[in-house]
Chain A
Amino acid sequence: MKTVAAGGEVALGARAAAPETARSRVNLRRLWRFKWGVAATIVLLLVVGSAILAPWIVPYSPLTVDIQHRLGPPAWMEGGTRAHLLGTDQIGRDLLSRVIYGGRVSLVIGTAAVLISSSIGVLLGLAAGYFAGRVDWSIMTLVNVMLTFPFVLLALAVIAVLGPSLLNMIAVLGVTDWPLYARVIRAETLALREREFVMAGRALGMSHLRIVFRQILPNLVSVIVVIATLQVARVIILESFLSFLGLGVQPPTPAWGNMLGEGRVYMLNSWWIATFPGLAIFVTTLAINLMGNALRDWLDPHMKV
């Protein structure tokens, strides 16, 4: 009898718990599909967190020069010390501290430039898609001109005239990177424009502005978020390339790009100076791309970005 009762109890307990575990199992399985995205988000949070908390977590100031310990190899190599985990650069600055600080420049430029370019691109894309006709033709011609042009070349030429600085970098990257948004948003708007709810809005006498911003734009948020995420990675790579050439963020401010450019000179004997900043760029952009892809699959698997 006892066993039966116990069995009954177990069964009862199991029945009560069943929907709960089943649901969490479904959630877990859903999450497992996005395992790469989740892992990437965690990595990205670490990068962002360390960049924000940089002043409190770095072992040394990124600008402290220590000529006696210049070109010191990473800790695990012969001649390396625990004091400088990733080694030191050509004038003895701690590489780990500089890599952590370097993230600040890249992330600030990346997000700021994407905010600018997405605003321009979305507005022009909405205008082109909604009004069609001549407006559409002019905007799309501009888009085609800009897309034909290698982005790198355009940014190089403008920076050459404006001169390198953090604000100029944000401005140039923000103003040159909008055509992709415009093209995708235009295509989506063209499709939405013919939908019933937009026609209903028009029949009710809504103004163009209200239709565009209240009825069409909310439907495009997920597309915009996905493109913007992926574009942050692109902008970070371009920014570091410009800094690598010495046309971006100027030394001694630590930026991944200019560290890589300075390290190139010493790559014959001290490979670590160029390697770690580049690795930081690679890990960050990879994490952003994986997160962007997962975001797209999660928000809308049919999205074409």
Chain B
Amino acid sequence: MKRYALRQLVQLTVVVVGISILSFAILHVIGDPVLLLLPQNAGKEEYERYHKLLGLDKPVYVQYWKFASRALQGDFGKSWYTDTPAFKLVIDRMPPTLYLTTAGLVAALLIALPLGILAALKRHSFVDNLCTMLAVAGQAMPIFWLGIMLIIIFAVRLKALPASGYGTWQHFLMPAFTLGAFLAPITMRLVRSGVIEIMNMDYIRTARAKGFGERKVVVKHAFRNACIPVITVLGLQFGQLLGGAIVTETVFAWPGVATLTVDSIRNQDFPVVQCAVVLLALIIVSVNFLVDIVVGLIDPRIRVA
């Protein structure tokens, strides 16, 4: 187990370094930050001064080293727009994003678990076919459009829910469902195939032979074992989930990191963009690491491979 964890940790470090290079490159290699920062009519002298001020006259690796060592201390520079530290801006917006992600995950599970199990137990039935169709349609659905349709129906027509914003539990319903609809199709397929595979296992036959009721067989023996692949894949899909949360936030004007990032992109406020990208990536990587460890603990077969 120790070696397994160590291997995962090495991989984690490599990925984090890779991401920091990527977000450094976004600003420093592709674009010229000075041109973005200065007004268009600025003279050459002004340009040179800022060039030096930002340390752009030094070799790229020196610049990267400075960026990385500062970032490690949570210093991504000040926002070019509001003059507050970028790190604080991003951290302040983090809780709404995490709440939305959690709510979306819960919604996805509420949709996917019952449907997936039902589809697996009644294979090739009408219900199963219906679920498959729902999953295919769900995967093709642009969720930002789904969100807007929900707003038109439930907020504009029925006036039952708030169209956007943040605060009460009613505000959570539509965004959570939208994000859930994004993740539910793949989860449902996983649950279905997992349960189908397990229902053919010997221990299920044993449980049946012992005379357990069908409900006990399904819930205690089949479902619990089907959870392992679902947890793994959901953990690895966390990046996708966060990507979906970004989309959802912008539709419902949710005050999270994603709306901050999109606003900062519009304002060309790059320290904030960089900080948000790095922190989001860091969260994804840590979640993946934890999932790997937890799965390794649950299922010894994985550690060896």
Binding site for B on A (CB under 8 A): 141-142, 144-145, 147-154, 156-162, 233, 237, 240-241, 244-247, 260, 264, 267-268, 271, 274-275, 278-279, 281-282, 285-286, 288-290, 293
A161-B30 contact given A152-B247, A153-B243, A278-B149, CB 8 Å threshold: yes
B239 near A: Cβ within 8 Å? yes
B297 near A: Cβ within 8 Å? no
A150 touches B273 (CB 8 A): no
Chain A's closest residue to B26 (CB) is A157
B239 touches A267 (CB 8 A): no
Q: CB-CB < 8 A to A271: which residues of B?
A: 152, 156
Partner pick for A289 among B136, B265, B280, CB 8 A cutoff: B136
Where chain B touches its partner, the secondary structure class is helix
B265 touches A156 (CB 8 A): yes
A157 touches B273 (CB 8 A): yes
A157 touches B31 (CB 8 A): no
Q: CB-CB < 8 A to B19: which residues of A?
A: 145, 148-149
Q: CB-CB < 8 A to B265: which residues of A?
A: 156-157, 159-160, 247
Q: CB-CB < 8 A to B156: which residues of A?
A: 267-268, 271
A151 touches B145 (CB 8 A): no
B141 near A: Cβ within 8 Å? yes
Partner pick for A149 among B142, B250, B270, B284, CB 8 A cutoff: B284
A148 touches B149 (CB 8 A): no
B31 touches A162 (CB 8 A): yes
Chain A's closest residue to B16 (CB) is A145
Partner pick for A150 among B23, B141, B243, B268, CB 8 A cutoff: B243
A158 to B273, CA, bound (A): 10
Partner pick for B144 among A144, A150, A241, A246, CB 8 A cutoff: A241
B288 near A: Cβ within 8 Å? yes
Q: Mask for B123-158, Cβ within 8 A of A = 1, else 0?
A: 000000000000011011110110011011000100
Q: CB-CB < 8 A to B266: which residues of A?
A: 246
**Minimum CB–CB distance for B144 against chain A, Å:** 6
A225 to B191, CA, bound (A): 28
Chain A's closest residue to B145 (CB) is A278
Of the A-B pairs whose beta carbons lie under 8 Å apart in the complex, a sample of 14, sorted by A's number, is A144-B11, A148-B239, A149-B22, A149-B239, A149-B281, A152-B246, A153-B261, A156-B246, A159-B265, A268-B156, A271-B156, A281-B145, A288-B140, A289-B139
A267 to B144, CA, bound (A): 14
Give me the 9 closest cross-chain CB pairs, A-B, nearest first.
Answer: A150-B243, A278-B145, A286-B140, A145-B18, A160-B265, A161-B31, A285-B140, A152-B243, A271-B152
A216 to B128, CA, bound (A): 38
B115 near A: Cβ within 8 Å? no
A178 to B270, CA, bound (A): 26
Partner pick for A144 among B15, B145, B250, CB 8 A cutoff: B15
B261 touches A156 (CB 8 A): yes
**Minimum CB–CB distance for B255 against chain A, Å:** 16
Q: CB-CB < 8 A to B27: which residues of A?
A: 161
A150 to B284, CA, bound (A): 9
B142 touches A282 (CB 8 A): yes
A150 touches B280 (CB 8 A): yes
**Minimum CB–CB distance for B199 against chain A, Å:** 21
A244 to B143, CA, bound (A): 12
A237-B18 contact given A156-B265, A157-B273, CB 8 Å threshold: no
Q: A237-B142, A244-B144, A290-B136 are in contact. List 13 more A-B contacts (CB 8 A).
A: A141-B14, A145-B15, A148-B281, A148-B284, A149-B239, A157-B23, A161-B27, A161-B31, A247-B262, A274-B145, A278-B142, A278-B149, A285-B140
